């Protein structure tokens, strides 16, 4: 089976059909997602919450990211695996950006990295692309800036904020990114950016007019005890199903003699 390349992902924009992508953080779920022919799997730094139980994406380390990236890369046979760069693995310097992105590709087995920001990370993206490391951008709500943004809120509601997000998305494209995640921005703004850019936009909480969509795997299957965010598309409550199985198993053992 031929693995998807960044060119395959770029071509999805031309097809005009919306495409679905998902996050994954472990071998089994990555196998399930990969076998559903999802073209891109993001090993998101949302692993900080889903895998390690932190409150935000801020605490996850490179070492913790690397473990989940490796597991997903081993499972994915057809999808492009994109590894998120954790907080402070690229903001600190261009040297750190190259070293840490290189580690996610070389030791993690990912085919690309994702980092948050627009104009302020233009140089970082340009350098990675120059050194042969494909980059997926991420603008709008950037969860690593949780404190600066005063929490998780829709971004780009005023004309000034909207203009800044358009400039950020254009900067990401001009720097050479092969796509950009648009997180939690108004639908009309996401549509405008999608029309302006030549690279695919992948939306989350930004309406249906992006080229593709991304969701957190745990949210769509209802695997977490905590309520999923408002923008999540939740199809089931696997948490309670697993809980019932565990309770059933416990009772079977206790009643077996
Ligand atoms: O970390 C993550 O899961 C993400 C997606 C929400 C885009 O960045």
Q: Whose CA is nearest to atom 5 of ligand 1?
A: 44
Q: How far apart are the CA of 216 and the centre of ligand 1, in A?
A: 7
Q: What is the pLDDT of residues 155-185, one digit of tens each?
A: 999 999 999 999 999 999 999 999 999 999 9
Domains belonging to the chain, first-starting first, are 6-215 (3.20.20.60)
Find out whether 201 and 208 touch, Cβ atoms under 8 Å. Answer: no
Atom of ligand 1 nearest to the CA of 183: 7
* pLDDT score of 130: 98
Q: Whose CA is nearest to atom 3 of ligand 1?
A: 44
DSSP line for 118-187: SGGGHHHHHHHHHTT--EEEEEES-GGGTTTTTSS-----SHHHHHHHHHHHHHHHHHT-SEEEEES--H
- pLDDT exceeds cutoff 80 at 55: yes
| Of 21, 46, 57, best ligand 1 pocket probe by most atoms within 8 Å of the beta carbon | 46
Q: How far apart are the CA of 250 and the centre of ligand 1, in A?
A: 35
Q: What is the pLDDT of residues 99-131, one digit of tens each?
A: 999 999 999 999 999 999 999 999 999 999 999
Q: What is the pLDDT of residues 78-91, one digit of tens each?
A: 999 999 999 999 99
Q: Whose CA is nearest to atom 4 of ligand 1?
A: 44
Q: Whose CA is nearest to atom 1 of ligand 1?
A: 44
* pLDDT score of 1: 77
* pLDDT score of 141: 98
- 161 as an active site residue: the answer is no
Tokens of 234: 């939740």
Residues with CB under 6 A from ligand 1: 23, 44-46, 84, 181, 183, 204, 214, 216
Catalytic, out of 183, 187, 226, 254: 183
This prediction's pTM: 0.97
């Amino acid at each position: 089976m031929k693995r998807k390349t960044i060119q395959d992902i770029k071509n999805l924009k031309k097809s005009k059909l919306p495409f679905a992508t998902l996050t994954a953080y472990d071998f089994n779920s990555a196998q399930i997602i990969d076998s559903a022919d999802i073209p891109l799997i993001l090993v998101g730094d949302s692993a900080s919450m889903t895998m390690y139980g932190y409150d935000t994406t801020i605490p996850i380390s490179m070492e913790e990211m690397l473990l989940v990236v490796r597991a997903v890369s081993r499972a994915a046979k057809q999808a492009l695996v994109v590894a998120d760069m954790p907080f402070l693995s690229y903001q600190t310097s261009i040297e750190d950006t190259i070293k840490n992105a290189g580690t996610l590709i070389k030791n993690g087995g990912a085919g690309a990295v994702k980092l948050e920001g627009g104009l302020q990370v233009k140089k970082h993206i340009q350098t990675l692309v120059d050194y042969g490391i494909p980059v997926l951008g991420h603008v709008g709500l950037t969860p690593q800036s949780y404190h600066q943004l005063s929490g998780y809120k829709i971004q780009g509601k005023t004309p000034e904020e909207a203009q800044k997000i358009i400039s950020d998305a254009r900067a990401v494209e001009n720097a050479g990114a092969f796509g950009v995640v648009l997180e939690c921005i108004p639908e009309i703004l996401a549509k405008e950016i999608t029309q302006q850019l030549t690279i695919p936009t992948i939306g989350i909480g930004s309406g249906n007019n992006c080229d593709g969509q991304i969701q957190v795997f745990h949210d769509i299957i209802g695997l977490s005890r905590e309520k999923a965010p408002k923008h999540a598309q939740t199809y089931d409550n696997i948490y309670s199903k697993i809980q019932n199985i565990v309770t059933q198993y416990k009772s079977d053992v206790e009643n077996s003699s």
